[in-house]
Structure 1
Amino acid sequence: MSHPTQNHDSEAVLKYLAAARKLKSQEDIAAILGVNARQVRRWEARESDPPPYLSYALQQILPLENNDPHAANNAPFTFIDLFAGIGGIRQAFDSIGGHCVFTSEWDTYAQKTYLYNFPNNHQLNGDITQIAASEIPDHDVLLGGFPCQPFSIAGVSKKNALGRAHGFNDETQGTLFFDICRIIDQKKPRAFLLENVKNLTSHDKGRTFDVIKRSLEELGYTMSYRVIDGAHFVPQHRERIIIVGFRNDLGIKFDLHQLELPEKGTRKLGEILHKTDGTEPFLPWDGDAYFDHKKKKTLDKYTLTDNLWAYLQNYAAKHKEKGNGFGFGLVTKDSVTRTLSARYYKDGSEILVSQGKTKNPRRLTPRECARLMGFPDSFKIPVSDTRAYKQFGNSVVVDVMSHVANAMLPYLALEKESARTRRSKIAA
């Protein structure tokens, strides 16, 4: 499997940077990206390579280009973003030059965060079950972090006994995976990328994954899947299954197990924690919501109260006596954390940052959670702390998605396919 070079990604970022510099100063751009002006100067002088994820942030400085009705035709490939959440998967595919033509996310709070960061040139749609596949634009890639649901097998064995085909329409009806299938069946995209919890293969005693695999293969796709730990890219253990498929007629052999990953655990928590030495960047969209820049410290509200800290310690001690592993996860700047969950807002117990022996530990701030999930500091958080914790706990590690997206890119940026050409290939 071939891989695009880092230089290719950097050139794309530098193109947007050059266009942005016609409108704004280095200092203004640095503030938008959450870096210092010296770093912007180094990128322009080609003394260092800018990270690929900055592409989208820089495009936001160019509103006319971002809203160009011909953008889909000019992009190397188009994609749709289903079960979009706050846009973690989109962030990755935007960064390699893709153009999003359709988005669906039912949660109104996630929609708010999504729209703050991805001002669409198309409507953000809600419940995907209420949208006909024919109403969705043609696209090259379908993306979706779909919810995991058990499939009913009632009636399937009877139909098999009668020699009647059932296919995905019968087996998946009533699940959200069915909506992925019906869209793929109608639109025949070049490829798809799906994401789910690592235990998907064993869910419902393996029935769920059997139906998923068989349904996608019946639709004419060859799929590859692999569980990847976010700890290869960020200081967090977060194992998720990635499923990639390409249409059979394209003749593409894509194997996720051939994808080389950075060594696990090399990135430590200290890289994403707020800096107390005066180097923490001031982000205009955050202000002092999470960090006091004058006092150079994280806000006191993130430190656990004496009562909560005592409760968590007693709870852990009680379960330790019973031989259970339940308890809090105390971490330092040299740690790789447990998985950030959507329940983090309750007590923060899975990731508590040590503040020494004289002070109670603290929760991560929402900005630190964003960093832990691989979101750049240019990503805006327009919701309450509680909502932000839920959203980041439900999201994907952007760096994992970017790594897979880059591996898929050589097979996405090929000749353009019209809907008629696509369907004729399938029929042949």
Structure 2
Amino acid sequence: MEHLRVLELYSGIGGMHCALKESGIPGQVVAAIDINTTANQIYRHNFPDAPLWNKTIEGIALDDFNKLSFDMILMSPPCQPFTRIGLQGDISDPRTKSFLYILDLLPRLRRLPRYILLENVKGFESSTARELLVKTLLECGYTFQEFMISPTSVGIPNSRLRYFLIAKIATENFSIQISDVFPHLAEGDSSEQPTVLSPTCPGTCQPEEEVQGGQVLYKLETATDAQRKMSQNNNLSIRQIQDFLEPQMEVNMEHYLLPPKTLLRYALLLDIVQPTCRRSVCFTKGYGRYVEGTGSVLQCCTETKMESVFTGLDQYSEEEKVQRLLKLKLRYFTPREVANLMGFPQSFSFPEEISTKQRFKVLGNSLNVVVVARLLQLLVS
């Protein structure tokens, strides 16, 4: 196959670039574009030879894009306008401006790129921005396929359900079986199943999260929650957390232990996993700073049973509660471990001057490299 010239928009720390390399597709990034200075520092550290433009996309003229003569666009536009916990401003959100500019430019390019891959959060599939994207692609003569995919479908024990679209210039019918791309489908949790979206009903065909209900057990967890977690941990097609951990001797884990104050305030809300688990929740940019809903924490002392610590916890004084909770040796995952769970290769690294807080933040804004690499292989096959 000939060498593809690739344009990487919203390049961040280089998740798309890593995926391109992992896919084995012969390609060269002719320009990576992002305005986040920390992300650009990390990108440059890992890909010193790639032309990196620290510019706003809407500040780049059509002529400059034409000069790049690219065959493929990889992009992960800002997700905040579409996320379920945000304001869902969609195209009225100023952060969508650059994406709308891309849609305006695409039909006017001197030469249309043969391939496009886009990633975004669950919620994008029912947005006006997605409708405009599809309309533009069809007018330009592309055929496309849309998916909802989580890393569990490639055997990685991390939930990160995301919307993907792959498009190519229409030469033949572009319709596939999801099992052709992701043969190891997650079992037991419908919200984690990879799904091909129908163009006619993208807002309703994606898997929905399980409705929570029932009696609350210890740790503010319902019987449904506990059953779902047990089902995920029994899915042998997914690897164990321990496969993604850093060797103990290589990093001082004391730095990552949850402090007593955090344990006391948030213990009942923590998503706790053990090294033998086959599940973890999505890591967000707030990991390490905020506790609720930002990612799982690891129980290092597995000899202590979680039930024995949490059952009847309210009966104890604050000091006794802390002593009981400390027995679990709960810690945050390290940035390298989060990167491992997001499919980044071992060759990927952070410059020393980037703080732990900054590393968590940029990783939370990135994507799963292995999932994108699989989709790229499908796209150009």
In the alignment, does 2:280 pair up with 1:340?
A: no
Corresponding residue number in structure 2 for 1:102: 31
Alpha-carbon shift at residue 252 of structure 1 (Å): 5.2
In the alignment, does 2:241 pair up with 1:269?
A: yes
Corresponding residue number in structure 2 for 1:209: 130
Q: What CA distance in whole angstroms lies between the structure 1 residues aligned with 2:300 and 2:50? A: 45
Q: Over residues 322-344 of structure 1, what are the superposed CA-to-partner deviations in whole Å (9 max), with x where a residue is unaligned? A: xxxxx210011122100111110
Task: Evaluate the alpha carbon distance shift between residue 122 and residue 173 of structure 1 in structure 2; reply closer, same or farther with a 3 A threshold.
Answer: closer
Corresponding residue number in structure 2 for 1:77: 4
Does structure 1 retain, via aligned residues, the 8 Å contact 2:18–2:345?
no
Alignment partner of 1:388 out of 334, 344, 359: 359
Corresponding residue number in structure 1 for 2:263: 309
Does structure 2 retain, via aligned residues, the 8 Å contact 1:146–1:177?
yes
- How many residue pairs end up in the alignment? 285
Amino acid at match of 1:273: L
Alignment partner of 1:140 out of 50, 68, 71: 71
After superposition, residues 243-392 of structure 1 pair within 5 angstroms as 243-248=165-170, 250-251=171-172, 253-255=174-176, 257=178, 259-261=180-182, 262-264=184-186, 266-276=238-248, 291=251, 298-313=252-267, 316=268, 327-335=269-277, 336-349=279-292, 350-356=295-301, 357=304, 358-382=327-351, 383-392=354-363
Task: Evaluate the alpha carbon distance shift between residue 394 and residue 173 of structure 1 in structure 2; reply closer, same or farther with a 3 A threshold.
Answer: closer
Alpha-carbon shift at residue 363 of structure 1 (Å): 0.2
Q: What CA distance in whole angstroms lies between the structure 2 residues aligned with 1:377 and 1:113? A: 15
Task: Evaluate the alpha carbon distance shift between residue 83 and residue 173 of structure 1 in structure 2; reply closer, same or farther with a 3 A threshold.
Answer: closer
After superposition, residues 50-89 of structure 1 pair within 5 angstroms as 76-89=3-16
Does structure 2 retain, via aligned residues, the 8 Å contact 1:196–1:242?
yes
Amino acid at match of 2:102: I
Task: Evaluate the alpha carbon distance shift between residue 194 and residue 246 of structure 1 in structure 2; reply closer, same or farther with a 3 A threshold.
Answer: same
Does structure 2 retain, via aligned residues, the 8 Å contact 1:306–1:360?
no
In the alignment, does 2:91 pair up with 1:151?
A: yes
Amino acid at match of 2:283: L
Aligned to 1:346, the other structure's residue is in SS state: coil
Q: Higher helix proportion, which one?
A: 1
Alpha-carbon shift at residue 348 of structure 1 (Å): 4.7
Q: What CA distance in whole angstroms lies between the structure 1 residues aligned with 2:130 and 2:50? A: 35
Q: Over residues 77-104 of structure 1, what are the superposed CA-to-partner deviations in whole Å (9 max), with x where a residue is unaligned? A: 1111001111111111133221110110
Task: Evaluate the alpha carbon distance shift between residue 82 and residue 174 of structure 1 in structure 2; reply closer, same or farther with a 3 A threshold.
Answer: closer
Corresponding residue number in structure 2 for 1:161: none
Does structure 1 retain, via aligned residues, the 8 Å contact 2:181–2:375?
no
Does structure 2 retain, via aligned residues, the 8 Å contact 1:226–1:256?
no
Does structure 2 retain, via aligned residues, the 8 Å contact 1:102–1:124?
yes
Corresponding residue number in structure 1 for 2:368: 397
Alpha-carbon shift at residue 255 of structure 1 (Å): 3.6
Does structure 1 retain, via aligned residues, the 8 Å contact 2:78–2:96?
no
Q: What CA distance in whole angstroms lies between the structure 1 residues aligned with 2:31 and 2:177? A: 26
Alpha-carbon shift at residue 373 of structure 1 (Å): 0.6
Aligned to 1:134, the other structure's residue is in SS state: helix
Task: Evaluate the alpha carbon distance shift between residue 107 and residue 173 of structure 1 in structure 2; reply closer, same or farther with a 3 A threshold.
Answer: closer
Q: What CA distance in whole angstroms lies between the structure 2 residues aligned with 1:191 and 1:328? A: 41
Aligned to 1:337, the other structure's residue is in SS state: coil
Aligned to 2:123, the other structure's residue is in SS state: helix
In the alignment, does 2:18 pair up with 1:91?
A: yes
Task: Evaluate the alpha carbon distance shift between residue 128 and residue 332 of structure 1 in structure 2; reply closer, same or farther with a 3 A threshold.
Answer: same
Q: Over residues 258-285 of structure 1, what are the superposed CA-to-partner deviations in whole Å (9 max), with x where a residue is unaligned? A: 6431233511211111234x6xxxxxxx
Q: Over the residues paired in the alignment, what is the CA RMSD in angstroms?
A: 2.4
Corresponding residue number in structure 1 for 2:380: 409
In the alignment, does 2:55 pair up with 1:126?
A: yes
Structure 2: stretches of 5+ with no match in the other structure:
82-89, 187-234, 305-326
Q: What CA distance in whole angstroms lies between the structure 2 residues aligned with 1:130 and 1:407? A: 32
Q: What CA distance in whole angstroms lies between the structure 2 residues aligned with 1:346 and 1:256? A: 40
Q: What CA distance in whole angstroms lies between the structure 1 residues aligned with 2:60 and 2:141? A: 23
Alpha-carbon shift at residue 177 of structure 1 (Å): 1.8
In the alignment, does 2:168 pair up with 1:225?
A: no
Corresponding residue number in structure 2 for 1:421: none
Q: What CA distance in whole angstroms lies between the structure 2 residues aligned with 1:116 and 1:75? A: 27
Amino acid at match of 1:223: F
TM-score normalised by L of structure 1: 0.62
Amino acid at match of 1:215: T
Q: What CA distance in whole angstroms lies between the structure 1 residues aligned with 2:149 and 2:96? A: 29
Alpha-carbon shift at residue 75 of structure 1 (Å): 5.3
Q: What CA distance in whole angstroms lies between the structure 2 residues aligned with 1:256 and 1:389? A: 35
Q: What CA distance in whole angstroms lies between the structure 1 residues aligned with 2:60 and 2:163? A: 27
Alpha-carbon shift at residue 121 of structure 1 (Å): 4.3
Alpha-carbon shift at residue 209 of structure 1 (Å): 2.4
Q: Which has the higher Rg, Structure 1 or Structure 2? A: 1
Task: Evaluate the alpha carbon distance shift between residue 112 and residue 174 of structure 1 in structure 2; reply closer, same or farther with a 3 A threshold.
Answer: closer
Alpha-carbon shift at residue 140 of structure 1 (Å): 0.8
Q: What CA distance in whole angstroms lies between the structure 2 residues aligned with 1:348 and 1:374? A: 23
Q: Over residues 227-274 of structure 1, what are the superposed CA-to-partner deviations in whole Å (9 max), with x where a residue is unaligned? A: 0111122210111111011112x3352547464312335112111112
Q: What CA distance in whole angstroms lies between the structure 2 residues aligned with 1:311 and 1:218? A: 54
Task: Evaluate the alpha carbon distance shift between residue 258 and residue 182 of structure 1 in structure 2; reply closer, same or farther with a 3 A threshold.
Answer: farther
**Relative to structure 2, which stretch is displaced further, 251-260 or 139-148?**
251-260
